[in-house]
Structure 1
């Protein structure tokens, strides 16, 4: 019985692989370049691409459970549909899919809308699946730590409605728990959706205050300028992706990314421990800087 992990070398994927190995699972990792994978020795590393049908057929052969994570790319929706169809052809019914919270609310944001379409495909085709819906990854803020520490500004335009940021390590552990649960079940388990959130719902001002406390000096919130955010993102990513991120930020401002009642308690019970906080994350980053 083998679990295939796609996106295995990314921030979440590596955590999923490590958590699965620690639970004694047989893991196969799909990577583009095995020479650069740097995964634990117990992992079966296979080369492939989600749009390469032949390589995916080979990677899915003999697999019992699939963890589907695909990056924000123009072909994301097609990648997911092809992979799930090939999984169905291979007789795989157990799936854990990494979607996004509020995919049914942020409908004008391309990568949210694409993930909602994948959720619908999973539901309508009858997969025995867990759909994980994570909020904003607090780990994304590693990329802006130099702005925070060097310029005294928290620059992400997350607004005043509140964002329930989650640590990617918690995402990886929850995904592994769900994968092992489905893998071990002798009977099909019903489709379920789980919102993945952090323990605190934070505004931009709240996050700046956390950084001020951690660093011991004033850090300000950069404000809600989503147009400026898009222009900054264009320095690091293609224009279409920067605009996608701007649209997401605009929904942060109007809707926030707020948990539903019971989400935090459900995750705490699932993990058997408290969720990691943004303050602890910021302290780790500040110590390592």
Structure 2
């Protein structure tokens, strides 16, 4: 029984593939360029993108279980709904979808609201799926290491409510475990939601303090300047995406990303180990 993984060469998808292979699963990866995929030996490669209808149909052939990860894109909703409809057409009844935590609460943030729409489609069509809902990926902060070390400022506008940052390794491993659970079941399993959070809920000031401890010098928190954050991001991403991230930061400030009771205990039990924490993550970045 083969598991199809989309987004297989990205930060999360690559972990999912590696975890599945390590556990003996038959894996097919859906990739744009097989020559550049660099995935573990034994992984079958199917070529195409998320709007390549014929390519995705071919990739689904003979597949029992689907891992659906759609990157942030202007047409993300279309990509995701198309993929799920094609999966239904192919008779696939075992799905793990990577959504986001608090999608409905962050209703004015395009890439959050879009994932909430996809979740509604899964519910409305009664799909047998696990919906994974990760918080902010701490791995995003690898991109700001040079800013922190060179300018002494932690620039991510996390606000003062608290963000339960999660490590991509934990997200990928939980996804793999759920894919295997569904893939090995004798039939479709009930729909399930799993919030994915880290062991600590950190404010912007507390995140800056983690960097201060790791670097042994004072790192200031840059605050919540939404306009400045957007302008900075426009140097490395399209304007629409930078604005999307500005709206996300505004929700960080208003609501944070706070786990519910039992979220962390459930994840720890699933993984059989502690969750990766932000302090260790930053220590690794600064040591490198």
Question: Normalising by structure 2, what TM-score?
Answer: 0.99
Q: Partner of 1:32 in structure 2?
A: 32
In 2: Cα distance, 1:123 partner to 1:24 partner = 31
1:108-187 aligned at under 5 Å gives the runs 108-187=108-187
In 2: Cα distance, 1:129 partner to 1:8 partner = 19
Q: Partner of 1:199 in structure 2?
A: 199
Q: How far is 1:226 from its partner?
A: 1.1
CA RMSD of aligned residues (A): 0.6
Regions of 4+ moved over 2 Å: none
In 1: Cα distance, 2:149 partner to 2:182 partner = 43
Q: Partner of 2:265 in structure 1?
A: 265
Q: How far is 1:286 from its partner?
A: 0.7
1:66-77 aligned at under 5 Å gives the runs 66-77=66-77
Q: How far is 1:42 from its partner?
A: 1.1
Q: Does 1:21 align with 2:14?
A: no
CA deviation digits over 1:213-260, x for unaligned, max 9? 111111110111111000000000000000000000000000001111
In 1: Cα distance, 2:199 partner to 2:109 partner = 25
In 1: Cα distance, 2:8 partner to 2:187 partner = 27
In 2: Cα distance, 1:210 partner to 1:191 partner = 38
Q: Partner of 1:43 in structure 2?
A: 43
In 1: Cα distance, 2:26 partner to 2:11 partner = 20
Q: How far is 1:122 from its partner?
A: 0.8
1:227-266 aligned at under 5 Å gives the runs 227-266=227-266
SS in 2 for 1:4: strand
Q: How far is 1:187 from its partner?
A: 2.6
Q: How far is 1:188 from its partner?
A: 2.0
In 1: Cα distance, 2:127 partner to 2:94 partner = 6
In 2: Cα distance, 1:117 partner to 1:222 partner = 33
Question: Normalising by structure 1, what TM-score?
Answer: 0.99
In 2: Cα distance, 1:226 partner to 1:183 partner = 43
In 2: Cα distance, 1:70 partner to 1:98 partner = 8
Specify every segment of 5 or more residues in structure 1 that has no aligned partner in the other structure, as ranges.
none
